[in-house]
Amino acid sequence: AKMAAGSGPGARELFAEGLLQFLRPAVRQLDRHVHSVRESQVELREHIDSLATELCRINEDQKVALDLDPYVKKLLNARRRVVLVNNILQNAQERLRRLNHSVAKETVRRRAMLEASG
């Protein structure tokens, strides 16, 4: 009667297993997206570095004095922000990996418990 009402230990285990099965794909997908964004951030940082280098070279080659320093500073500031965001994403991805590991570990534990009791 308790199992039918959804309050028995078997029902809780089944619910927990279902919840873990539901969370695992979402965590993996989020991890893939974070990884993709981090790769984009690295590419953006490389392009910013290249552009800053090119602006410095143009500034040195110009016969007419152009003050490109403010633009170079803006690029370097943008690069700094990209690096900061990348660090935040890296920390989030590490937390996602730990969560994914915990979900997998809990799934194995729960399956073992279900098999032992069934």
Provide the residue ranges of all domains of the chain, joining segments of one domain with +: 8-65, 66-117
**What is the structure's pLDDT at 73?**
87
CA-closest candidate to residue 14, choices 116, 111, 98: 111
The Cα–Cα gap between 94 and 73 comes to 32
Contact 103, 19 (CB under 8 A): no
pTM over 0.75: no
Task: Tell me the torsion sign for CA atoms 100, 102, 107, 108.
Answer: positive
The Cα–Cα gap between 112 and 37 comes to 37
10-residue stretch averages of pLDDT, the chain, 118 residues long: 52 79 85 89 90 84 75 88 90 88 84 80
